[in-house]
Amino acid sequence: MEKFSSHTGVGAPLRRSNVDTDQIIPAVWLKKVTRDGFEEGLFSAWRSDPSFVLNQDAYKNATVLVAGPDFGTGSSREHAVWALQNYGFKVVISPRFGDIFRGNSGKAGLLAAQVDDKVVQRLWDYLDANPGATITIDLESRTVKAGDGVDAIEDSFTIDDYTRWRLLEGLDDVGITLSHEDDIVTYEKSRPSFKPATL
């Protein structure tokens, strides 16, 4: 996993709340058995609409998605994170994330930055007024910045300490756990015999 310290990229305003993972990547796309190629299915129901934000030239190379509250609710499909990453997104900003989606994001290296409602509103207004403008997300200082001068937006975002550390270090989950294999072995010795087994 790549280390993440800070990122500056084109912001795309997704003026919708409750964007569930079925909208991010419909179930029909879950049939693939590889980890790449999901970008084509990203927001697929909306992509046929020419006015959809990602169909506009200014946002073609967007890497920072600014969405309404409850982004990534619903199905546990991690494909939603892969689809966003395959498309090129590095960061999603929202006032509130679905729990499973937020967990999946941290593990795959997509930064889910939780900000205040008002910050999303200001970012939306800023991006609409300045299509193609960039947003900077600094994971070290947990800040999001956009614009210059008196109207500049600078605020903090929330991310739990552990996920932040892992993203900063670019650490793989399984490797971290296997470094504590002794603890797992010890635990297994204490499991009662009535616990079920499949084999």
Residues that bind another protein (CB under 8 A): 17-18, 20, 22-23, 26-28, 30-35, 45, 68-70, 73-79, 81, 96, 98-100, 103-104, 107-108, 160-162, 173-174, 176-178, 180-181, 183-184, 186-188, 191-199
Least distance in angstroms from the C-beta of 57 to another protein:
25
CA angle 123, 76, 6 (to 5 degrees): 40
Residue with smaller CB distance to another protein, 148 or 181: 181
* Bridge partners, 14 (sequence order): 67
Nearer to another protein, 22 or 155 (CB): 22
Q: Token pair for residue 183?
A: 């603890």
For another protein, which is the closer residue by CB, 50 or 198? Answer: 198
Cβ nearer to another protein, comparing 88 with 103: 103
Nearest 5°: phi and psi at 91?
A: -140, 140
Chain centroid to CA 11: 14
Beta carbon of residue 178, minimum distance to another protein (angstroms, whole number)? 6
Burial 90-114 (b: 16+ CB within 10 A, else e): bbbbbbbbbebbbbbbbbebbbbbb
Kindly state the smallest distance separating residue 80's Cβ from another protein, in Å.
Answer: 9
